[in-house]
């Protein structure tokens, strides 16, 4: 496996390669990332994993400085999952003029759900992903379904700016109690980690109600809230929106697929999770 730290070297390799699959990450790789890398490797061609903690997507009071980092361990994980190349640039390589740089703004899709409390987050994500697409030149890029809003934002950017990149959504990998794998799970104590399993149990309870025919939006959201609050977790939001554009949906759902998404703070961690209702994309 090759390790590349400069944009010039990455570009040179890109020119020599026929087809590239990209897995953008911020490192501290876990089983969810391993699944993304394996999915990318399955497509054939060159599998490139980028590891870059992107300052542009963190708000001033967020965890940029303490975000977990372990490049040596990540290299072992990436190699064993099937990566051919790790692209791990320094901040000064990606943002030589500092972080007051050109930004991609996508409008309302970035201001709902997580965007309400993280107003600059998705513009930072879109900007760094656009840069990675230009630098690495992938045919396909792989993102985890846990980050449903991120997937929606990147698909919108790809469509609006005519990137020739297929965005592949890979199912969420979960710990034994249902908690979605995330680098931020490392902020949880053992007790919090156990309690955090309630988030997915609550989502699957609503999923069951939906399968039994419940279509009232409020009833589905209430089912989630009741379970989450009974575990002494105060959610930041529990919402149902259209799964692709994140538009609001009616009080009574029709048969179109929707996203049931939540965010909650447990201890020092802010966790997100979701399920899709009414689609065979649902897990």
Which residues are part of the catalytic machinery?
33
Of 26 and 253, which CB lies nearer to ligand PAF in the complex structure?
26
The minimum distance between CB 52 and ligand PAF, in angstroms, equals: 7
115 binds ligand PAF (CB under 6 A): no
Which residue among 147, 207, 239, 273 contacts ligand PAF (CB under 6 A)? 147
> Around Cβ 86, how many Cβ atoms within 10 Å?
25
The minimum distance between CB 252 and ligand PAF, in angstroms, equals: 34
Structure token pair of residue 54: 């992107």
Which residue among 13, 20, 21, 24 contacts ligand PAF (CB under 6 A)? 24
> With contacts defined by CB under 6 A, how many residues of the chain interact with ligand PAF?
10
Distance CA 227, CA 215 (A): 19
Stretch that binds ligand PAF, among 81-89, 121-129, 230-238, 239-247 (CB under 6 A): 121-129
Q: Report residue 90 CA to chain centroid gap.
A: 21
123 binds ligand PAF (CB under 6 A): no
Of 26 and 276, which CB lies nearer to ligand PAF in the complex structure?
26
Which residue among 25, 77, 149, 185 contacts ligand PAF (CB under 6 A)? 25
The minimum distance between CB 42 and ligand PAF, in angstroms, equals: 20
Distance CA 247, CA 256 (A): 12
Which residue among 21, 47, 54, 182 contacts ligand PAF (CB under 6 A)? 54
HSE of 92, CA atoms in CB hemisphere, 13 A: 0
Distance CA 131, CA 206 (A): 38
Distance CA 39, CA 43 (A): 7
Binding site for ligand PAF (CB under 6 A): 24-26, 54, 57, 125, 128-129, 147, 150
């Amino acid at each position: 496996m090759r390790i590349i730290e400069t944009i010039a070297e990455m570009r040179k390799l890109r020119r020599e390669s026929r087809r590239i699959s990209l897995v953008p990450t911020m490192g501290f790789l876990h089983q969810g990332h391993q699944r993304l890398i394996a999915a990318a490797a399955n497509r054939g061609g060159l599998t490139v994993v980028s590891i870059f903690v992107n300052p542009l997507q963190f708000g001033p009071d967020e965890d940029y400085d303490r975000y977990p980092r372990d490049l040596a361990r990540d290299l072992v994980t990436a190699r064993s999952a099937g990566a051919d190349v790790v692209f791990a640039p320094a901040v000064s390589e990606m943002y030589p003029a500092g972080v007051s740089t050109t930004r991609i703004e996508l409008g309302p899709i970035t201001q709902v759900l997580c965007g309400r409390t993280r107003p600059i987050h998705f513009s930072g994500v879109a900007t760094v992903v656009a840069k990675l697409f230009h630098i690495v030149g992938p045919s396909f890029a792989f993102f985890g379904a846990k980050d449903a809003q991120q997937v929606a934002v990147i698909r919108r950017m790809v469509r609006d700016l005519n990137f020739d990149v297929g965005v592949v959504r890979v199912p969420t990998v979960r710990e034994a109690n249902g908690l979605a794998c995330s680098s931020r799970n490392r902020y949880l104590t053992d007790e919090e980690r156990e309690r955090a399993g309630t988030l997915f149990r609550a989502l699957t309870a609503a999923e069951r109600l939906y399968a039994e025919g419940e279509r009232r939006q409020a009833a589905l959201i209430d089912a989630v809230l009741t379970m989450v609050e009974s575990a002494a977790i105060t959610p930041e939001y529990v919402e149902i929106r259209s799964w692709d554009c994140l538009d609001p949906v009616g009080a009574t759902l029709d048969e179109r697929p929707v996203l049931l998404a939540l965010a909650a703070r447990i201890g020092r961690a802010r966790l997100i999770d979701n399920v899709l209702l009414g689609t065979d994309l649902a897990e």
